[in-house]
A = this chain, B = another copy of it.
Amino acid sequence: MALTLEPAFTLTVEVGEPREVGRTHAGYRRVIPILGGSVDGPALTGTVLPGGADWNVVRPDGAVHVWARYEIRSADGAVISVINEGLGYFDTPAGGVSMPTRPVFEVPEGGPTWLATGFFLGELRVGSEAGQVSIEVSRVLAI
């Protein structure tokens, strides 16, 4: 494997009370609102903006599918759209305490274009504090 992971930044996301949709044709759906947070790391610093949510579902086969959409603002003032999708088992006998994700970014002109054109891998982890989730984002580099 000639792909390498380069640590980029960590999203620390404050989340609200889950809203339960319940059991649908897709599985058990819950919606977790995004309240704010911070972006810290060698490649980017800024804030997580309030708004958006994680619409996650426990699928019929037991895997958890995470799909979150929200915005961050870089220290330079660029508003960046985030879609973060993950799949795995989360904090259960079947899985670990973290879940792999693939965050995708949409970046305005003048912003950090490497975020829009790069491929990233995230590690989503429930924070040590209640109502907090962290995603360690690494850039996947093809050599």
Contacts and interface: CB of A to CB of B under 8 A. Distances in A.
A108 B24 contact: yes
This protein's copies in its complex: 4
A136 interface: yes
Taking each of A55, A99, A140, A142, which has the highest tally of chain B beta carbons within 10 Å of its own beta carbon? A142
B49 A51 contact: no
Contacts of A101: 119
Nearest to A138: B1
Given A25-B106, A52-B53, A123 B3 contact: yes
B96 A143 contact: yes
Contacts of A106: 21, 24-26, 29
Interface residues of A, number: 64
Interface string A7-18: 100000000000
A81 B24 contact: yes
Contacts of A69: 53, 55, 69
